[in-house]
Amino acid sequence: MYEKNVFINCPFDEAYVDLLHAITFAISYSGFIPRSALEEVNSGEERLAKIVKLIKDCRLAVHDISRVELPATDALPRFNMPFECGIFYGALSLGDTKQRQKQFLVLDSEPFRYQKTLSDIAGKDPACHRNDPYEAVACVRRFLNGKGGAAPLPGETHFTDEYRKFQSALPALLQKVKLTPLEIRKMAYWTDYAAAAQVWIERRASDPAST
């Protein structure tokens, strides 16, 4: 599954959940497999070891470095996302032949801000989602287009239309598995969200008239 796995490196808080859901849907709709540290439930395994293992298992990655604002209660920004991006780049640069196949997308909420916050990635040109889930869907679609070795992906308008339809269908899907819309917005339920998206996508593929 290495070829199809896409590691999602992003903030794990409810303020980011709409973007995470959009990224997850876009990865699945592109025919790839979204992977995240959120899927790991083994509390006995050290967090960094989990992340390294996930990175090793993923050929592709989406790294969101947008969370650089200072929180209201602390005087320091979050460094986890740039750190994990660095681990991924290290695997790409220093790993074996398999690891050197890696490719990644860097996301930010403002264009060119990375020149001040993470200038070492100059040349990688992060894509800008402007904190808009539909822009995030389009960014991920552009990144994954052509990476699966199959026909080109449908256009961005199609992707965002399909995401809008999935969002409308989600409450009914959740009801069938006895989950609430409030629960699915919690990071602990990310695997449930990813599963619901995959069910809907497979249903649409077999019956395009379904919603």
> pLDDT, tens digit, for every residue of 14-68?
889 999 999 999 999 999 999 999 987 655 568 889 999 999 999 999 999 887 6
For residue 197, the tally of other CB atoms under 10 A from its CB is: 22
- Element containing residue 35 per DSSP (H, E): strand 33-35
Q: Which domains does the chain have, with CATH numbers?
A: 5-153 (3.40.50.10140)
Task: Output the six-digit token pair for 48.
Answer: 């960094």
User: How far does Cα 118 stand from its chain's mean position?
Assistant: 20
Residues 6+ apart with CB under 8 A from 20: 8, 10, 187, 190
> pLDDT, tens digit, for every residue of 134-170?
999 999 999 999 997 778 999 999 999 999 999 999 9
Write phi, then psi, for 128 (nearest 5 degrees).
-110, 120
> pLDDT, tens digit, for every residue of 165-189?
999 999 999 999 999 999 999 999 9
